Amino acid sequence: MLQLPFIRENKDAIINRLAVRNIDAKPLIDQVISLDENRRTLQAQLDNVLAESNSISKEIGMLYKSGKAEEANALKAKTSDLKESSKTLSEQLNDTVNNLNEVLYQIPNVPHESVPSGNTDEDNEEVYKEGEIPKLHGEALPHWELAKKYDIIDFELGNKITGAGFPVYKGKGARLQRALIAYFLDKNTAAGYTEFQFPHLVNEASGFGTGQLPDKEGQMYHVTGDNLYLIPTAEVPGTNIFRDVILNESDLPIGITGYTPCFRREAGSYGAHVRGLNRLHQFDKVEIIRVEHPDNSYNALDSMVNHVKDILKELKLPYRILRLCGGDIGFTSALTFDFEVFSTAQDRWLEISSVSNFETFQANRLKLRFKNKDGKNELAHTLNGSSLALPRVLAGILENYQTEKGIKIPDVLVPYTGFEWID
C-alpha cells in the first residue's frame, strides 16, 4: 500500500508512473487526497472537541471543590453536548478512514523507473539468456507423454482423486520431485537463507499484508468455515512473520527460505500451453524472502537474480531473464524479473521463477518497520523470489534431458535422487 505522505507529495509523478501499468490512476489518487483531507479535518475537529471537553471537566471539578455546584451543573450540560459531538465525529472519522483504506487497497505499487511500458507478456524485455538448447532425437516427447511412458506422474489419477490440476507423482517421479526440493533448500541455506516450515493456511490479515487480498481473492482457495485461505505461495506466511514488527537496523538484512505446496484457483484455458505440469492448481515451490534496508534493496534484488542464475547453471537448463513490463508486473511489485526455461519438446519458454522488489508497498500494509540510526521508525523493503517453482523445472528436465535410452538426471541432482536415469 502506498503511503499517504508519499501520495500527497508526489501526486503527478505517481499518476505518470502508474500509466506504465496502463492504469489511469488520477481518479483514485484524487479520491485518496480528498478523503485524506476530510480525515485530517475531522481529526482536528475531534481533537478540539475532546480538548474542550477535558478542559471543561477539569473546570467542573474545580467549581465543585469551590462550592459552586450551580455553575458546575450548568457546565455539565455543555459536556453532554460535546460528548455527543465527539461520538458523531468519531463515527464520521472511522467511516472516512475505512473508505480511504478501501481506495488505497485498489492502487497498485508504483513501477520502478526501469520498468518498460507495455500491455502484455509480449512486451516484456529480455535482459539475459544462457545455455545451449539441446537437439533431441526424432522420437522426443512432451513431458506429459514422458510421464505416462515412464509411469512417473499420473494426471488421470489426480483428476480422479481431486480434479484437473492436481497430479500424482509416482516412483522415480516422486523421488525426483523430492530431490529438487532438497537441492533448492540446500542451495538457499548455503547462500545464507534461514530455513522455515510455514503453515499452509493463512488468515485474512496475512492475505492483506502481502497484497493477495483483495487483489487476488478470486484466485485463492477459501476455507469459509474458518475464514482461512490456502496459500498461493510461501511468500504469504513467510513475509507475515514480520507483520507488526519493529526491527533494529542491525537486524537487517534478513533472508529466509521455505518449501510449501501452493494452491491457486486460477482457471486455465485449453491447449498444449496448459497441459501436464504447465499450469496446476496445486504445485510445490521453494521460496526465498528478504527484508532489507531501503538503501540496499536493489543490490539485494541483483543478488537474488544471480542466485537463481547459479541454480539454473548447475541444472544445465537453457534459460532467459525478462524484465516485466508495466502491463505484466504484479500488483504489489515495483520491479520483477521472470526466469523462463526453454522446453525443447514444446518449443517454447516456460516461466519458472519471479524475483521481485516490493519496496515499502508490503511493509506499509504489514507495519513492518525498523529503528534507524536516528532512533526513528522507518519502513523496511521486502523482496521475494521463487527458488524455484517445481512443475516447469521438472517439465524442463524431463523434456530437455530425454534420450532414446531414457531420461538422464542432471549431475547435480544424482546425489539427491540416488539414480542417474529414468528408464
Q: Is the pLDDT of residue 267 over 70?
A: no
Q: Is the pLDDT of residue 287 over 90?
A: yes
Q: What would the pLDDT profile of 52-78 be if each residue is shown by its tens digit?
A: 988 888 888 887 788 877 777 777 778
**Domain count across the chain:** 2
CB contact at 8 A, 407 and 419 = no
Q: Is residue 270 predicted with pLDDT exceeding 70?
A: no
What CATH number is attached to the domain comprising 21? 1.10.287.40
Answer yes or no: is 70 within a domain: yes
Task: Give the residue from 42, 75, 104 where a domain finishes.
Answer: 104
Of 52, 73, 104, the position where a domain reaches its end is 104
Phi, psi of 60 (to 5 degrees): -60, -45
- Same-domain pairing of 15 and 157: no
pLDDT recorded at residue 273: 66
- Whether 286 is in a domain gets the answer yes
Instruction: Please indicate, yes or no, if residue 87 is contained in any of the structural domains.
Output: yes
Is the pLDDT reported for residue 13 higher than 90?
Answer: yes
Q: pLDDT value at position 80? A: 82
Same domain, 92 and 132: no
Higher pLDDT: 223 or 272? It is 223
Give the residue-averaged pLDDT of 359-382. 97
- Do 16 and 143 belong to one domain? no
For 145-184, give the secondary structure using H, E and C: HHHHHCCCEEHHHHHHHCCCCCCEECHHHHHHHHHHHHHH
Give domain status of residue 115, yes or no.
no
Q: What is the pLDDT of residues 220-265, one digit of tens each?
A: 999 999 999 999 999 999 999 999 999 999 999 999 999 999 999 8
List pLDDT tens digits, range 114-171. Answer: 999 999 999 999 999 999 999 998 889 999 999 999 999 999 999 999 999 999 999 9
Same domain, 227 and 337: yes
**pLDDT reading at 419 higher than 70:** yes
DSSP per position, 306-354: HHHHHHHHHHT--EEEEEPPTTTS-TT-SEEEEEEEEETTTTEEEEEEE
Cβ atoms 361, 381 nearer than 8 A: no
Identify the CATH number of the domain in which residue 234 sits: 3.30.930.10
One domain, residues 99 and 125: no
Planar angle of CA 123, 124, 129, nearest 5 degrees: 135
- Domain extent, residue 149, equals 121-422
- pLDDT of 65 reads 81
Of the candidates 345, 314, 288, 277, the residue with the CA atom closest to the CA atom of residue 414: 314
Same domain, 45 and 131: no
Question: Does any domain span residue 116?
Answer: no
The residue with cell 509416482 is 170
Q: Which residue has the cell 534493496?
A: 297
Quick one: 76 and 166 in the same domain? Answer: no
**Considering only 7-11, 135-139, 197-201, 315-319, which range has the smallest mean pLDDT?**
135-139
- Kindly state whether residues 13 and 47 are assigned to the same domain: yes
- 50 and 192: one domain? no
User: What is the pLDDT of the chain when averaged over all its residues?
Assistant: 94
Is 245 in the same domain as 324?
Answer: yes
pLDDT band at 97 (very low <50, low <70, confident <90, very high): very high
Domain boundary among 78, 104, 130: 104
